[in-house]
Structures are given as structure tokens and as C-alpha cells.
Homo-oligomer: A and B are copies of this chain.
Amino acid sequence: MHDGTRIAILAHEKFPDRAKTAVGLLRYGDHEVVAVLDREIAESDPDARVNDYVSDVQDAPIVGRAADAARFDVLVVGIAPIGGGFDRSWRPDVETAIESGADVWAGLHYFLAEDEGFAAMAEEHGVDIWDVRRPPDDLTVAEGTAGDLDATVVLTVGSDCSTGKMTTTMELFEAARERGWDAGFVPTGQTGAMIAGHGVVVDRVVSDFAAGATEGMVLEAGAENDYVFVEGQGSIVHPAYSAVTCGILHGAMPDAMVLTHEAGREVIHGFESFAIPDPGTLVSLYEDLAGAVHDSSVVGGALNTRGLEPAEASDAVIGYADAIDAPAVDPVRSDADPLLDAVVEAE
């Protein structure tokens, strides 16, 4: 069911494995994807389609440039090179999009709206450039009020970065909507924000405002819904990113947490001298830290078992549930329903 917005997703030379935002939009977005731009794939196979590379997501042709795509309303820059810069070779695609009257959404450190060429073109053609990582100007410190919401707030937390927090949050949100619940989704990263069509990328916010930015989004979603699913970031045990995690944890004041982990990962990705604590210790850390401002418990676990055979995956999920002493699933392999049951049971 599409929301009427047609998007093309730029993912040159990175689709699908290094194009997390592109795959996220294909899997969870309400927007209709009319094309994925990957010139490497398109060159080797002019008839390539998304479902040749990723199943279980909406299908779309893979084309080499924006000019070859069907008409779209938004061009999404769905990849980011290390450092977050803008690759000059993408310029013609962005220009084609703007000239055709399409908006541009980008999640780069380099803000396209501050690029003089793009800014002038956007003004001329009356289109908007949304630099998703650019914090709004009206952020402020938290007031400590998210815990007063009537809504049940569920936060995904993790043992590390890239353990499946965004995916788990979306699976929970979709399963809740399928049950007919009034449910809201609070994005805190760029992929989530592009899926939602709004949101603040918390890791780009001044650290004093990390909790406040989260709180503001949670209050907004909580005013309109009975359940609010908040995308977590990083990990409270991450040597570089724990500040972001902590700001989200205390800004959101979740009633329930779902602990995500990737099966077999034992050390922090990219920081291999740092061991990931065992799951039970992580549960205690999150509950104690969250509980300092608002009572919260880890009601379930989401284990990412990609790369495991089905039987191994099943065993891993059972072992993980045992370790955290709560229900666990791989929400991609199976579904998030047992986690929703656990949320309800904890209320």
C-alpha cells in the first residue's frame, strides 16, 4: 500500500549490501520505488531488478542514471561514502531530478541544500532539498516528560551498532498496525527518518539536546497513538557511540525495551578489543540505566541470525531467549508477534 509518493533511490555501486537506506526504504517505506540507481549493476545487466538481489521487498527496475527512471517525486541519496561526502559523479542524477521537478532527500554529512549549484537549481524549479542529517534549529534540552505519556513506549536497544534496531523497530511497528493498534514510529537515524518522511537524526544533534530531540518526537507520536515504537541507536556499551544511545534511552523513557543482537558477534564491530558483555549483563545495564529515570524492562529479544542455517538460527534464538530470560525471535526470519505479546504482558 503506497502513500502516493514515487521515489528513485541512488545507490551507485553499493546495492544492495552497502546500501542500508535503500534496502530499508524498499522493505519498509510506504513510498512507491520506481527505480534504484546503480550504474554498475545496470551496465552488466540492463534488465536487472531489485528482486534479483533482495527478495521480500518491493520490486523495481535497477537503472544506470536518473534520466532512465520512470517519473518520480523524490530522488533519495540512499548511500553514503566513508566520511559522508558527496560524490561528484552523482551530480548529473541530482540535477536531472531537480530539473524534472523532484525533491531530493539526502543523508550525507555534506548538505546538498548548502551546495550553491543545487540550491540555485532547487529555487529555480521550486523543489525542496531535505538534508536528513541536518538538525532542526529549534531543538532544546529535554524536559523529562516522556514518562508521563499514556502511550506505551517501546525502545529497541542493542549490543552494538548494526544489530537490527531499525529493522526490529519497523517489524514491531508493522506487526502492531496489522493488529489494528494505534501505533507510531519514531525514527532516530537517517534511514528511519526517510521511511517516516520526518525525524531527527540524533547522532548529529548537539549532545545537550540528544535527549530533548528524542523526547520531542516521542511526545508527538505518543499524543496520537497508544503504542510508540522508538528506533534506538548504537549501544550503551559502545566506546564511541554510547552518548547517543544514552540520550535516546533517557529522552524516550521507554516502558519496555527489546534487546537486539547479532548471533555470534562477540566484540564491538570496528572496535575489536572491546568484548560485548553477555546478554544477561546487557539486560541489567539497560534496565538499571533506564530505571534511573523511568521504570523499564527488557521484555524481549531480537536476534539477527543472517548467515546461519535455519536449524542453527532456531537454536541460536532459543539460546538467546534463555540468556535474556525473555521471549526472543529473529523478526526477519519469523515475525515480531511474540515481542508484541511480551509488550502487552508487561503493561
Contacts and interface: CB of A to CB of B under 8 A. Distances in A.
A242 B204 contact: no
A247 interface: yes
Contacts of A271: 143-144
Given A204-B208, A207-B202, A285-B288, A247 B242 contact: yes
A141 B79 CA distance: 20
A19 to B, nearest CB: 21
A288 B287 CA distance: 12
A212 interface: yes
A118 interface: no
- Chain multiplicity (copies): 2
Interface residues of A, number: 40
A317 interface: no
29 contacts: A141-B240, A141-B241, A142-B239, A144-B240, A144-B273, A202-B207, A203-B206, A203-B208, A204-B206, A204-B208, A205-B207, A206-B206, A206-B207, A207-B207, A207-B243, A210-B243, A211-B239, A211-B241, A211-B243, A212-B240, A236-B246, A239-B253, A240-B250, A242-B250, A242-B293, A243-B246, A243-B250, A285-B288, A288-B288
A51 interface: no
B288 A292 contact: no
Interface string A203-221: 1111110111000000000
A247 B239 contact: no
Contacts of A236: 246, 289, 292
Interface string A179-214: 000000000000000000000001111111011100
A221 B241 CA distance: 22
A96 interface: no
A284 interface: yes
Interface string A278-306: 00000011001100110000000000000
A144 B274 contact: yes
Nearest to A234: B208
A230 interface: no
Contacts of A206: 203-207
Contacts of A22: none
A215 to B, nearest CB: 8
A242 B211 contact: yes
A207 B189 CA distance: 13
B285 A289 contact: yes
A94 interface: no
